[in-house]
Amino acid sequence: MLTYTLRRLLILIPMLLFLSFLIYLGLELTPGDAVSYMISPERYATMDPAELEAVREALGLDDPFLIRYAKWLGGVLKGDFGYSLQSGVPIRDIVFDRLPATLELSAGAIIISTIFGIFFGTISALKRGSIGDNALTLAGMLGVSVPRFIFGLLAILLFTFHLKWLPVGGRLRPGYEGFMDRLPHLIMPTLVLSATLVAGIMRYSRASMLDAMNRDFMKTARSKGLPEWRVNFVHGLRVSLIPVIVLIAFRLPILLGGTVIIEQVFQWPGIGSEFIGAVRSRNYPIVMMIAFFTTFAVLFVSFLIDLFTALLDPRVKLD
């Protein structure tokens, strides 16, 4: 168990190195650089090339690609994530400033979608073929196939413009600081983000539960004289949860970086909207850092999933 954990954590290092290099390379191959974004096209056209070079040199953009990557990597290893090319603010500050907003949003969505997804999926499987099951199946199909931003826009149309219940976006109003003040802002983005996730988890847990219900051990459980709730929930649900939990866990890192669109729709000041801005302005230190963190989260979560499945399923051996 311990050797397994150590081995898995050690493997993370070369994988992170390789992936960060790939991302850096991708950015390098993208046309344009931060300087071309910072200076207006009119001035850019008339500027002295020597002057442009000076700006590039000041930002450290004139070094060859590999040297820049090495410098960046050296900084990261020392805990120095660099500075935003536009504002000069340390990236550490930007991340710590933005991350809580994203975590607030995605944690809410994960919790809501896990509870409702598994609940509706299991009920749907138990009442297979009923009106409720068909309605949930239809809703699930819609939830999976309609893009999130459409849900977002529809929600704004309904709750902000027609019903006037909720604010259109943002996270805070000036002068208000407490969580209760933030809550009205949080509701819509969280629910819209959850909607798609609930749909996916529901479809999956329904299928998994149906599969479990057809297994022989359910008949054995009944043959012991157990009541139906125990047969379904202690025996059926417990077995059906294993793949569902894995699916949910794989969504965790996606939510760190994957709330991009929702954050855009609701002007949510999270990592996602920062990421979009940074990509547009070729602000590569920020793009690198966010991509690097997301990569790390994905790799780390997949390791956690392995530990967790071993815990859930006695048949899984980690060695």
Residues that bind another protein in the complex, under the rule CB under 8 A: 215-217, 219-228, 235, 238-239, 242, 312-315
Residue closer to another protein, measured from CB, 100 or 227 = 227
Q: What letter represents residue 294's amino acid?
A: T
Residue closer to another protein, measured from CB, 88 or 225 = 225
The distance of closest approach from Cβ of residue 222 to another protein in the complex, given in angstroms and rounded to an integer, is: 6
The distance of closest approach from Cβ of residue 258 to another protein in the complex, given in angstroms and rounded to an integer, is: 31
* Inter-residue contact 229 to 252 (CB < 8 Å): no
Token digits of residue 246: 């894995």
Distance in angstroms (rounded) separating the CA atoms of residues 90 and 84: 6
Residue closer to another protein, measured from CB, 56 or 215 = 215
Distance in angstroms (rounded) separating the CA atoms of residues 263 and 290: 15
The distance of closest approach from Cβ of residue 230 to another protein in the complex, given in angstroms and rounded to an integer, is: 8
Residue closer to another protein, measured from CB, 184 or 227 = 227
The distance of closest approach from Cβ of residue 202 to another protein in the complex, given in angstroms and rounded to an integer, is: 22
Token digits of residue 127: 């009442």
- Residues in CB range of 141: below 8 A, 6 or more apart: 199
Distance in angstroms (rounded) separating the CA atoms of residues 21 and 23: 5
The distance of closest approach from Cβ of residue 10 to another protein in the complex, given in angstroms and rounded to an integer, is: 30
Residue closer to another protein, measured from CB, 147 or 227 = 227
What string of DSSP letters covers 93-110?
HHHHHHHHHHHHHHHHHH
CA angle 268, 270, 274 (to 5 degrees): 105
